[in-house]
Structure 1
Amino acid sequence: MGFLSKLFGKKEEEKAAAGKVDVKASASKNSIPPEKVGLDGNFDESGLAKRVAKALDDAGISDDVGLWVAQSGSTVVLKYNSDAEGVLSQAEQVAKGVEGASSVNRVPNS
Structure 2
Amino acid sequence: MGWLQRLFGMGKPKDAQVNPPVQAAPQTTAQAPASTNAETIAPERVGLNGEYDQSGLAKRVALAFDEDPDLADEERLWVAQTSGTIVLKGEVSDQATLNKMTSIARGVNGCTAVDTSQVKVG
Report the TM-score range of the alignment, normalised by the length of the smaller protein.
0.7 to 0.9
| Equivalent residue, structure 1, for 2:42 | 33
| Equivalent residue, structure 2, for 1:9 | 9
Q: Aligned in 2, Cα 1:6/1:75: closer, same or farther, shift over 3 Å?
A: same
State the shift of 1:64 in Å.
3.9
| Equivalent residue, structure 2, for 1:20 | 17
Question: Is it true that 1:46 corresponds to 2:55 in the alignment?
Answer: yes
List alignment gaps of at least 5 residues for structure 1.
none
Name the structure where helix makes up a greater proportion of residues.
1
List alignment gaps of at least 5 residues for structure 2.
26-39
State the shift of 1:62 in Å.
1.9
Question: Is it true that 1:92 corresponds to 2:79 in the alignment?
Answer: no
TM-score (norm 1): 0.80
TM-score (norm 2): 0.73
Which runs of 4 or more aligned residues in structure 1 lie more than 4 Å from their structure 2 counterparts after TM superposition?
Answer: none
- Give CA deviations for 1:57-84 in whole Å, capped at 9, x if unaligned: 1122124431110000000001122546
Q: Aligned in 2, Cα 1:89/1:67: closer, same or farther, shift over 3 Å?
A: same
**How many aligned positions are there?**
104
CA contact (8 A) 2:46 2:57 kept: yes
Larger Rg: 2
- Give CA deviations for 1:13-52 in whole Å, capped at 9, x if unaligned: 242x3242654x416x332101000112111110000000
Q: Distance in 1 between matches of 2:101 and 2:18?
A: 21
Q: Aligned in 2, Cα 1:90/1:82: closer, same or farther, shift over 3 Å?
A: closer
